[in-house]
Amino acid sequence: MPTLIYDKKGRIAYITINRPEVRNAINSEVWDGLIKAWISVRDDPEVWVAIVTGAGDKAFSAGQDLKEIAEWMMIPEEKRPPMPIPEITPMRGLEVWKPFIAAINGICTGGGLELAMACDIRIAADNARLGLAEVRQAIMPGMSGTQKLPRLVPLAKALEMLMTGDFIDAQEAYRIGLVNKVVPLAELMPTAEALANRICENGPLAVRAVKEAASRGIEMSLADGLRLEQEIAQRLSRSK
């Protein structure tokens, strides 16, 4: 069975981490699949929206496969292959202006939460538990967690989560704005699909323009962001 499943139905791409036996931990094969999936969404004109989830009902993803990392570290340094975590990933450096929806089921921690935060909209099942627990292992989030979480939730709450490693449940994630909606587990994928279809009713270039303007503009001053918005709006107005 593939460790990552990429499927298309109509205008929607489905990206599913398929390692439920290890809570969908992300190993080198999953990393390779995620990068290829993001590029496929970017380059396929028939895909307008993507939904990202984890197989089974226990985990979206428990994050990086630490067993694989431990085995890699046991190899003598002069003989080690490249680290099994790529430099450019959906969390860092791989920009795609089409919308991604994370359908979060069960455990979502470490690199799993960082992957969910790389998506634009997050819908959580009522069994979801979210956190960045790296400090409990004397390491720190290194795939965007320390940068993305404070941009999505109040800084004090982000620092509490980052420094304690504590998990929050789906309702608390909704309360602080980390997820957009909480639904029963059985309704998770139908809700994500309904939202994806709703987005597909709109002009696809307009949706991508909105994402690009918001994503790039948030890093700018208001004056620079307004100029960027005008540039992208003018570019959009020249399209078909």
Helix (H/G/I), strand (E/B), else coil: 156 = helix
* DSSP string computed for 8-75: EETTEEEEEE--GGGTT-B-HHHHHHHHHHHHHHHH-TT--EEEEEESSSSEEE--B-HHHHHHHHHS
Phi first, then psi: what are they for 210, rounded to 5°? -60, -45
CA 218, 220, 222, 226 torsion: positive or negative?
Answer: negative
The single-letter DSSP state of residue 115 is H
Helix (H/G/I), strand (E/B), else coil: 160 = helix
Taking residue 154's Cβ as centre, other Cβ atoms within 10 Å add up to: 11
Could you list the active site residues? 114, 134
Question: Which pair of structure tokens corresponds to residue 12?
Answer: 């929607």
CA 4, 105, 121, 131 torsion: positive or negative?
Answer: negative
